[in-house]
Amino acid sequence: MSQFLLKLAIFAPPMLMAVTFHEVSHGAMAALLGDPTARLAGRLTLNPLKHLDPMGLLAFVLTQMIGWAKPVPVDGRYFRNPRMGMVLVSAAGPLSNFVLALLSALALSGLEYAGGALGASPLKGYVLVPLLYMTIASVQVNLALGVFNLLPIPPLDGGHLLMGLLPKRWAYELARLERWGFVVVILLAITGVLGRILGPVVSSLYNLLI
């Protein structure tokens, strides 16, 4: 139990940051394209409490890998090209996670250098080592969240990306499956299929960065 709580304490801050930046990036891209909905709803904020979703938080606690936040409201009618606008808004979330993963990998190099300079200082054990673990967790969490959201299953971002790129008739058929999307994701997670899909991709990207 203590190991579980320790792991949760290390992964929780990076996870909160990852889902917050993910959702804010959706809203910021929509605002850039002319949609004020997210701003008016108070969702263009880095306060994680504004974005937390109970089920997404529970999924993270149980899987310690994936989770999600409340979707930022977006109204495609404000976009000059609604379909392309939704593609850009959908892509912004996963892209923000890959950028955070890259920045975390760069920060990790700096922390490792600082650790070498500090030697056996107490500061290293009490401050630097926990920061190192959280930074490694940030790389893992952001890569997992970015890859997870690119799965072509609505309502994940990958599903919305696909809907924006497919012919309208096929996009409509895919959109009809959206209400069952999270049921499919949960079944994939329970059966272990999700881990087998995400694991190799996340590991390859992690090895590329670290």
Find tokens 């409509």 and name the residue.
172
pLDDT > 70? residue 66: no
The crossing angle, in degrees rounded to 10, of helices 129-149 and 82-118 is 160
Catalytic site includes residue 173 = no
Determine the pLDDT at residue 150: 94
With beta carbons less than 8 A apart as the criterion, state whether 20 and 28 touch.
no
DSSP secondary structure of 95-123: HHHHHHHHHHHHHHHHHHHHHHHHTT-HH
Q: What are the tens digits of pLDDT across the range 83-136?
A: 999 999 999 999 999 999 999 999 988 887 776 655 566 666 567 778 889 999
Domain residue spans in the chain? 2-209
Q: Which residue did the predictor score with more confidence, 61 or 173?
A: 173
Cross-strand partners of 52: 69
Catalytic residue selected from 23, 112, 173, 178: 23
Mean pLDDT of 153-171: 89
Q: Model's pTM, two decimal places?
A: 0.89
Residue-averaged pLDDT of the chain: 86
